[in-house]
Amino acid sequence: MNPLVTTIDIDAPAEVVWAVLTDFDSYPEWNRHSIVSGTLAEGETLRVAPGPDAGRMPTFTPTVVTVDEGHEFAWLGHLFVRGLFDGEHRFQVEDLGEGRTRLTQSESFSGVLAGLVLRVFGEQTRRNFEGVNAAVKARAESTADATTESITT
């Protein structure tokens, strides 16, 4: 296994971060690193494509393997066939209290070509994860600010 792990702390409640992260239809409005479509339910197939800022990344059609509402979801994808280059991608939303959240985005890679593919695309993949994390942070914080403002006015 070759894990890649990125985290970011977000000044927004976990519920807001989860809502932003799982609203795939809105990704084109704020996420220039990836485009995700499909239904977030175990056993469903998603389409995960690179966004305009992702560079030369492949499109995957992974299967959702975990959904823990409000906390975590994961999918498992394969490049061409199982065992060649597989990746289990996971998003974890951790409530830090006081309206703050930690988002962890990770992927565990395996398969015959994992080492080679990661040597070629590993750093680009890390930058893409960090870009998605920053975009989630910006969207969640602006959403939380707008919600707080509408409540106080």
The predicted-structure confidence for 93-126, as pLDDT tens digits, reads as follows: 999 999 999 999 999 999 998 988 888 888 988 9
Smallest Cα–Cα separation from 59: which of 69, 74, 49, 45?
A: 49
Q: Could you confirm whether domain 2-152 is CATH 2.60.40.10?
A: no
Length of the chain: 153
Smallest Cα–Cα separation from 129: which of 113, 115, 144, 118?
A: 118
> In the 8-state DSSP scheme, what is residue 153?
-
**The whole model's pTM is what?**
0.90
Query: By the 8 A CB rule, do 143 and 15 touch?
Result: no
Looking at residue 147, its pLDDT comes to 66
Average pLDDT over residues 32-50: 95
Residue 11, classified by CB atoms within 10 Å of its CB into exposed (0-12), middle (13-18) or buried (19+), is: middle
